[in-house]
Amino acid sequence: MPNQAKVQKVEEITQKLTTAKSAALVQYQGLTASQVSELRDKVKAAGGVLEVNKNSLITRALENIGIKLPEVLTGPTAIAYGVTDEINGFKEIDKVNNDKKVTSFKYGIYDKKLLSLAEFQKFLTLPSKSQLISQLLGGLQNPLQRLAYALRFNQTQLVMVLDAIAKKGN
């Protein structure tokens, strides 16, 4: 018979998986407790949450939302949730992986679908939400700036011609 605390933990993980914009299963073998805490803080600052849970609880929570893993989870596994931004928290984990080669992604979850490691790596290459918004605004602003310049240019030309005529007449 399952322990009531474990049942509650599975429900908690299930709830977080359903409300998060995205999630990833991360292997963090080789990080010390202080490094995991530091990584957790970086992920939180980037709009995510990083939690360490037992593999069996993670597997049950994934099954609750209809995701069946193709293999049994082994080794120390954490779940990273994208709470306010789909990608930024994962990019922080990827930076640690690039620097220390101690973390690695196992799977990604987006829109309640399991992403393979290759698909998740493509997901990580996408620009962040803030970068996309700034690119969109820049793209919208550029034609308007050109139009304003063109309209001002014709007025400036007219003033210069009138000024030249006025100086010639004197």
pLDDT tens-digit profile of 90-139? 888 887 776 666 567 888 888 888 888 888 888 788 777 777 888 888 77
Overall CATH class of domain 4-126: alpha beta
In total, the chain counts a number of residues equal to 170
Q: What is the reported pLDDT for 102?
A: 59
- Let me know if 108 is exposed, middle or buried by CB neighbors in 10 A (0-12, 13-18, 19+): buried
Q: What is the reported pLDDT for 1?
A: 45
- Four-residue CA torsion sign, 50, 53, 55, 60: negative
Domain ranges of the chain: 4-126, 127-170
Share of the chain above pLDDT 70, in %: 94
Q: Are 93 and 24 in contact (CB under 8 A)?
A: yes
